[in-house]
Amino acid sequence: MAGILRVPRSRGALSGVLLIVLGTWGALIPLVGPYFHYAYTPDTAWSLTSGRIWLEIVPGAAAFVGGLVVLISSLRPVVMFGAWLAALAGAWFAVGVTLSPLWTTGAVSAIGLPIGGKIHRITEQIGFFTGLGVVIAFLAALVIGRLSVIGVRDARLAESRDARHAVRDSAAADPAVNDPAVDPVPGEDPVPGDRTGAVG
């Protein structure tokens, strides 16, 4: 059933919007956070480092794109792709900092150090990476789970859509509907004023 590949856009609308917002936050907060002392070193606004690019901006952009796809697409495989892209972005936010010593010199974190006191550093860790990644992955998993199962409503919508297409296709293929020159159905009266055998 071809119609089953389509889903109502409302199905993932809220999750898509939230993924867009969180992706935007994840990509921009390392650049604007220093304005209000919510940052990792270097504590300089709009300062690009390899750590900020690969651990924050890239996954933030991926979450943004994934959320946009979830929001605007009505094709189930395409929406699934967007959700998986966002899920991978969330996972990278959550574990990327932990894995970053694998490619840095001296096996140190690629992102620098959080600034401020103990509570401030904890909120930075949650808002920049761990908490942000968990929430993004959770929202993406909700979309994946809802699209992995074809509900009764989806099946009924698909059947209704297929029925409409079938009626339209049969009407397009019926010459009696599309060709006015087709002979009238046997047994019907001819065109008025053209009665054969009329008494003159």
What beta strand segments (E) does the chain contain? none
40-64 tens-digit pLDDT: 998 899 999 999 999 999 999 999 9
Instruction: Locate 47 and state its tokens.
Output: 């300062």
> Binning pLDDT at 50, 70 and 90, where does residue 35 land?
very high
116-161 tens-digit pLDDT: 999 999 999 999 999 999 999 999 999 999 888 775 555 555 556 5
- Give the start-to-end residue ranges of the domains of the chain: 12-150
Identify the pLDDT of residue 184: 53
Angle between helices 130-148 and 118-128 (to 10 degrees): 30
Global pTM reads 0.74
For residues 195 and 82, the model is more confident at 82
Distance (Å) of CA 174 to CA 97, 139, 161? 64, 48, 20
- Rounded CA-CA distance 165/168 in Å is 5
- Rounded CA-CA distance 45/111 in Å is 14
Say yes or no to pLDDT of 32 above 90. yes
User: What 3-state DSSP class applies to 180?
Assistant: coil
